[in-house]
A and B are shown apart, each in its own frame.
Chain A
Amino acid sequence: MMRVLSCAWDKSLKQFMIYRATGWLTFLLAIIFYAIEYVTGYVYFSSNTSVNGWDRTDYLVLVTGISVMVSAYNFIFILGHEELSELIVDGGLDSLLLKPLDPYWSVMLVGFDMPSLIELVVTTAVFIYLLQNYTLGIIKVFMIIWALIMGVMMIFLLNRICICFNFWLAKASSLGGVIEDLTSMLSRPKVFFPTIIQLVFTFVVPVLTVTNMPVEIIKGDGSVKELVYFSIACVALYYLSRYEWNQGMKNYYSAN
């Protein structure tokens, strides 16, 4: 497995080196998205008073943390998911299924997205810089890192579940971008939303948990118990996504 992974890494690195201009353009486009969220944070909190317990630094940490998670997801998983969408709809999954690798994961071997790696480095640097404003013990640091990793897994699982709907729905081309849109919309403090929205997006589609958990831990509102529940939810969602994949396999018609 490690050899295959290092092959994929080599291929992605070479591809980035060859198409350097487009690689940097990709990075620029992605970083502009983050910059705009940052600017919007400055606009919302331009008077620098605290709203519902959130001040400007909290909001900027929220936005940056989400960027870290999204760029980590993009770096590892997005190329695979774009490929998977097309393969399911076009009926080209055979090449995946015939290989001696678990098809659920092997689609990721399409490659890694190098521009997202650069974005990940940049946003992580900003994140660590913003964290200087808070006092954090070693336990909290571990909790934050774990929350970020769980966040990436959750984004991955939600996207995979959405993409696998293509097994049953025809021509639902917007499905690929739904989770991305939801994540960017819900990158706001949880307390700003009415209760019903908070409930739906914490327990049904846990996007709000993903976006808010790191900052809640940083501010001291997050407990280990919540983190454990979140991890359990991740595992449960993984089994749901596996089940959906198996059901999708039964429904799959090859184009060959």
Chain B
Amino acid sequence: MKYLYVFLASLKAKLIYRTNIVLEYGLTILQVGVSIFVWEALYSQKALVVPNYSLEKLNAYLFLANFLALSFSVAPAFRLATQIKSGRLSTLLERPISLYGEHLAYFIGDQFLGIVINLCLVVYFGSLSGISVLMLLLLVIYLAFAGVMFFSLMMILGMLAFWLIELWPLRSFVTACYLLFGGRYFPLSHLPNKFFIVIQYNPFSLVTDIPARFLTVGLSGYELMQYLIVTLGWTFIFLVIYRLILKHGLRLYEGVESI
């Protein structure tokens, strides 16, 4: 019940302070545009062509990858990091509410708009590619699990604030990883095969590259189940690491604003 209140409060806050929404969506559209322009230049001069991807499919892929990245956002990491740095984590720790649960409820409320938009995109591109309703449902379930996995990873990254003094390098690092491994610059399958075999299972690509590939080039149900199992594996690992790091971090934590 208490988590429902957190969810509603965060949803309300998101809708009231609309500047952030405008900025976020504006920047995402620009990022999509930039990636598409670069690839159009490369395609038109025949300098580089991604196998299996026509220009329209590539554009659809980049559009999807970037918009999925918008709702699987890195914001929880920084919200937690700011709470740790400012000492406001103490108030949260004293309450009869799980830290993970509070942040998850806040995250869902914050991203509710993005989640709705992404579901519409999934339906639209799914029907465009002629994918059956059952497979689309499977994709939605996959996305739900991938979301929880990604959120757990963000919580772990946020807890680096127990050790880091400045937070802005975290932003650079996470953005860069997301751009490369999340397939937001180019489809991950374009990397040389020996890299791709290992990298395709990293958490960033599981969240954006896989669904985008599913909706453009297509994946078999068997492959999707494979990725789903890897996702569950990551979620389990992240939850274990989360508990460990929280315990160690709280030992260092002073509860007052540092530096």
Q: Does B48 contact A (CB under 8 A)?
A: yes
C-alpha spacing A32/B170, complex, angstroms: 11
A33 engages B164 (CB within 8 Å): no
Q: How many residues of A contact B (CB 8 A)?
A: 51
Interface centre among B172, B173, B177, by most chain A C-beta atoms within 10 angstroms, is: B172
Residue numbers in B under 8 Å from A36 (CB-CB): 176-177, 179-180
B residues less than 8 Å from A46 (CB atoms): 48
A109 to B201, CA, bound (A): 45
Assess whether B175 is interfacial by the CB under 8 Å rule: yes
Of A49, A113, A178, A188, which is within 8 A of B27 by CB? A178
User: B166: nearest residue on chain A (CB-CB)?
Assistant: A26
Residue among B31, B41, B168, B191 having the largest count of chain A Cβ atoms under 10 Å: B168
CB neighbours (8 Å) of A251 from chain B are none
A192 at the interface (CB under 8 A from B): yes
Cα-based distance from A195 to B195 in the complex (angstroms) = 36
Interface-central residue, B19, B33, B167, by most chain A CB under 10 Å: B19
What 0/1 readout, one digit per residue, does chain A (154-172) give for beta carbons within 8 Å of chain B? 0000000000000001111
Q: A9 CB to closest chain B CB, in angstroms?
A: 17
* Chain A: minimal CB distance from B44 (Å): 9
CB-contact partner of B23 in A15, A47, A175, under 8 A: A175
Within 8 A of B (CB), among A99-158: 113, 115
User: Given the complex of chains A and B, what is the CA–CA distance between A193 and B35 in angstroms?
Assistant: 10
Report the bound CA distance from A172 to B24 in whole Å: 11
B37 interfacial contact with A, CB 8 Å: yes
**B164 A197 Cβ-Cβ under 8 A:** no
Nearest Cβ in chain A — how far from B199, in angstroms? 12
Is the CB–CB distance between B172 and A51 below 8 Å?
Answer: no
Contact of A185 among B19, B20, B24, B31 (CB under 8 A): B31
CB of B48 within 8 A of CB of A170, answer no
Question: Is the Cβ of B31 less than 8 Å from the Cβ of A174?
Answer: no
- Cα distance A39–B45 in the bound complex, in angstroms: 21
B214 on interface, CB distance cutoff 8 Å: no
Contact A185–B34 (Cβ < 8 Å) = yes
Taking a contact as CB atoms closer than 8 A, the residue among A44, A78, A180, A185 that contacts B42 in the complex is: A44
> Are the CB atoms of B169 and A115 closer together than 8 Å?
yes
The minimal Cβ–Cβ distance linking B169 to chain A, given in whole angstroms, is 4
How far apart sit A175 and B20, CA to CA, in the bound complex (Å)?
8
Q: Are B179's CB and A49's CB within 8 A? A: no
Contacts of B47 in A (CB 8 A): 45, 47, 49-51
Are A32 and B176 CB-contacts (below 8 A) given A26-B169, A51-B41?
A: yes
- Pair A25/B38 contact, Cβ less than 8 Å: no
Q: Is B57 an interface residue (CB 8 A)?
A: no
- Assess A30 versus B172: contact at CB under 8 Å? Given A169-B19, A197-B33: yes
Q: How far is the CB of A132 from chain B (nearest CB, A)?
A: 24
Question: Chain A, 180-215, contact with B by CB distance < 8 Å: what is the 0/1 string?
Answer: 111011101001111001000000000000000000
Q: A19 at the A/B interface (Cβ < 8 Å)? A: yes
Q: Would B41 and A178 count as touching, CB distance under 8 A?
A: no
Please indicate the chain B residues that have their CB under 8 angstroms from the CB of A40 in the complex. Answer: 179-180, 185-186
Q: A1-55: which residues lie under 8 A (CB-CB) from chain B?
A: 15, 19, 21-23, 25-26, 29-30, 32-33, 36-37, 39-40, 43-47, 49-52
| Interface 0/1 of B176-211, CB less than 8 Å to A | 110110000110001100000000000000000000
Please name 7 pairs of A and B residues whose Cβ atoms are closer than 8 Å in the assembled complex, sorted by A: A44-B186, A74-B168, A172-B17, A185-B30, A188-B34, A193-B34, A193-B37
Besides A171-B13, A197-B37, 20 new A-B residue pairs in contact (Cβ under 8 A), listed by A number = A23-B165, A26-B166, A29-B173, A32-B173, A40-B179, A43-B191, A45-B48, A49-B45, A52-B41, A82-B167, A170-B17, A172-B20, A174-B19, A174-B24, A181-B31, A184-B175, A188-B37, A191-B41, A192-B41, A193-B34
